[in-house]
């Protein structure tokens, strides 16, 4: 297959777009599972959710790798290969962050994560949603970039809101909580949730660059 001379010149546009859509859906699944896990606080449940999300993350890795493989063996790509690569790695990074959140919840096992953690999870879900919809625009955004532009703005806004929630929460945590070990546990988890919203916004920046470059 890879060595078929003819094959290398056949445009495989739909393949790349459908792989990226697949990857975005895996991110959505990871984000939804993380949000769901917030309602389950026993160590056993937390471990189960971590294993679930880890399995989702591995599927993400495979799809991201498939994109790389395709890039190596395809001659004509629908966007420059560095752009497809950046997008796949960017989405994969968000999935890795979600996995890292679940891992930290499992290994640090803080007593209660509270409302702010749930809120951050909801932001991550909304960002995953935006990324799914944005990826669906890739085939058509050159003719009509309005929708894609809208998702970029939304990703930027969501991250800003998440920042505010995170900053206010950490401020209060360090003012009010007196148990240093509990503070460390909660901080490690919340930092990773916030880092995940950043990683999602980074995908927004990659998408914005596509508009600058191709429209």
Binding site for a second copy (CB under 8 A): 68-69, 72, 103, 106-109, 167, 170-171, 174-175, 178, 180-181, 183-185, 187, 209, 212-213
Residue 120 or 132 having the CB closest to a second copy: 120
In terms of CB distance, is 55 or 167 closer to a second copy? 167
CB of 88 closer than 8 Å to CB of 20: yes
Q: Closest approach of Cβ 56 to a second copy, in Å?
A: 16
Minimum CB distance to a second copy, residue 108 (Å): 6
Cβ–Cβ under 8 Å, residues 143 and 164: no
Angstrom distance (rounded) from CA 204 to CA 207: 5
In whole angstroms, how close is the CB of 213 to a second copy at the nearest point?
Answer: 5
Task: Indicate the residue among 68 and 154 with the shorter CB distance to a second copy.
Answer: 68
Whether the Cβ atoms of residue 89 and residue 165 lie closer than 8 Å to each other: no
CB of 50 to a second copy, least distance (A): 9
Between residues 33 and 109, which has the closer beta carbon with respect to a second copy? 109
């Amino acid at each position: 297959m890879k060595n078929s001379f003819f094959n290398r010149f056949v445009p495989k546009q739909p393949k790349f777009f459908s792989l990226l859509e697949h990857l975005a859906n895996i991110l959505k699944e990871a984000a939804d599972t993380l949000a769901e896990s917030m309602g389950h606080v026993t160590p056993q449940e937390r471990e189960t959710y971590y294993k679930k999300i880890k399995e989702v993350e591995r599927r993400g890795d495979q799809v991201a790798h498939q994109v790389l493989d395709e890039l190596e063996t395809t001659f004509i790509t629908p966007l420059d290969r560095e752009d497809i690569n950046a997008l796949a790695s960017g989405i994969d990074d968000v999935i890795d962050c979600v996995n890292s959140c679940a891992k930290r919840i499992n290994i640090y096992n803080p007593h209660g994560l509270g409302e702010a953690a749930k809120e951050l999870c909801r932001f991550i879900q909304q960002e995953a949603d935006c990324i799914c919809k944005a990826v669906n625009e890739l085939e058509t955004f050159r003719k009509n970039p309005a929708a894609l532009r809208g998702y970029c703005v939304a990703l930027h806004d969501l991250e800003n809101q998440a920042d505010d929630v995170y900053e206010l929460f950490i401020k209060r945590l360090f003012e009010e909580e007196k148990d240093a070990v509990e503070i460390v546990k909660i901080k490690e988890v919340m930092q990773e949730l916030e880092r995940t919203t950043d990683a999602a916004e980074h995908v927004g920046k990659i998408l914005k660059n596509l508009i600058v470059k191709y429209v």
